[in-house]
Structure 1
Amino acid sequence: MATVVVDVMPKTEILDPQGKAVLGTLPRLGFAGFTDVRQGKRFELTFDGEVTDEVLAQVTELAGTLLSNPVIEDFEVHVEDAR
């Protein structure tokens, strides 16, 4: 089994109010030196078998149609571990 991970983040030109809220809270909690926070989503898909180029293409299609909004979000697909 292997885990294919899809990380989805807002495009850099899109305002991220959740990230800004976290950034505003950091100094009040004693965390200094951070200049930006972006919040996104992570999807872990466990695949039974070998992760081939065809499987990665299928996950990429899935990420672009269901897991993300391609108008305002970018995504990356990678294999996290193979067991």
Structure 2
Amino acid sequence: MPISIKATKNTSTGIRGVQRYGEMYRWRVDAVRFRSLTGQDPTPLFIARLNERESGCVDSVSFHTIEDAGDDLCKFLKAMTGASFEY
């Protein structure tokens, strides 16, 4: 069963983890948001990716649409956990 990352409140984009930057969208995930999005502790694979970043979070490239950013975030979370995600 897919895990939904759609937000009902407290987000301007409607997808948890996806943020708007000017005309573009991108996602950012730190350890706290990983737990919030996935319902589990950060996986070793995610921690390895996180340790590569000085910012303390893993983020995406910029996307022209919120749907593209949401799809990419779902793919990333699936790669990190093996679970299916949707928004």
Higher relative contact order (CA 8 A, sep 6+): 1
Which structure has more strand as a fraction of its residues? 1
Instruction: Check whether TM > 0.5.
Output: no
Provide TM-score, normalisation by structure 1.
0.31
Provide TM-score, normalisation by structure 2.
0.30
- Structure possessing the higher radius of gyration over alpha carbons: 1
Which structure has more helix as a fraction of its residues? 2
